[in-house]
Amino acid sequence: MERDTFDPHRILKQIGLPHLVTAETLVDHFGAALGRTIQLDVITGLTRSGWCGLWVLGGDGIDYLFIDAGYARIPALKAQVAAHELGHIVAGHDQSATSEGNVISLLQQSFPHLPPAVIARAAAARSTYDQPAEQEAEAFATAVMSRAAAEARRASGATGRRAEGVLGHPLGGGRG
Ligand SMILES: [Zn+2]
């Protein structure tokens, strides 16, 4: 299926960014802009399944966005993982079907109150995301973080520490 080329910069121009960029403000901002309810949760051990973040579309219409606790400890990384997952949502990626027993049991243990429909959706989650989808999500995250860094630089003048070096920290190859 052909579709328009995904252009993160064009989207950011349209939607803009929150004044202060954190995982939480990004989720609020894009949730409001897209008219979606996005719930952000931190989850321990997600990287053991090979992911730093996970987006699950719940049967209840809520987008669940999970971030590994290790990444969530560092605000800039947490924001970057959130931006990556939001990139999947913004780009309208499908969640293609494959079973991921690790993630399902992890979600059940970590969020016993999570609706079964959401757990089931996790089974249809992300491990089969094709490479172009991952590249689009990562391009979106990079665009968000570099724009945030540029605005932080502008706000603090040229003498500030190089925010770019911190915000642009690579994720170490973790999927999500
Ligand atoms: Zn991804």
Distance 152 CA to ligand 1 centre (A): 26
Q: Per the domain annotation, does 112 fall within a domain?
A: yes
Distance 137 CA to ligand 1 centre (A): 6
Distance 84 CA to ligand 1 centre (A): 6
Q: Per the domain annotation, does 172 fall within a domain?
A: no
Sign (positive or negative) of CA dihedral 82, 85, 87, 89: negative
Q: Per the domain annotation, does 1 fall within a domain?
A: no
Distance 113 CA to ligand 1 centre (A): 25
Residue 60 structure tokens: 């209840």
Distance 77 CA to ligand 1 centre (A): 14
| The pLDDT of residue 132 | 82
The backbone torsions φ and ψ at residue 158, rounded to the nearest 5 degrees and listed phi first, read -75, -10
Q: pLDDT tens for residues 15-37? A: 999 999 999 999 999 999 999 99
- Ion ligand 1: residues, CB within 5 A, are 134, 137, 176
How many domains does the chain fold into? 1
The range of the structural domain enclosing residue 123 comes to 8-167
Q: Per the domain annotation, does 56 fall within a domain?
A: yes
Task: Inform me whether the pLDDT recorded for 52 exceeds 70.
Answer: yes
- Could you tell me which of 90, 54, 57 has the C-alpha nearest to residue 69? 54
Q: Per the domain annotation, does 176 fall within a domain?
A: no
Q: Per the domain annotation, does 83 fall within a domain?
A: yes
pTM of this structure? 0.75
Q: Per the domain annotation, does 54 fall within a domain?
A: yes
Q: Per the domain annotation, does 2 fall within a domain?
A: no
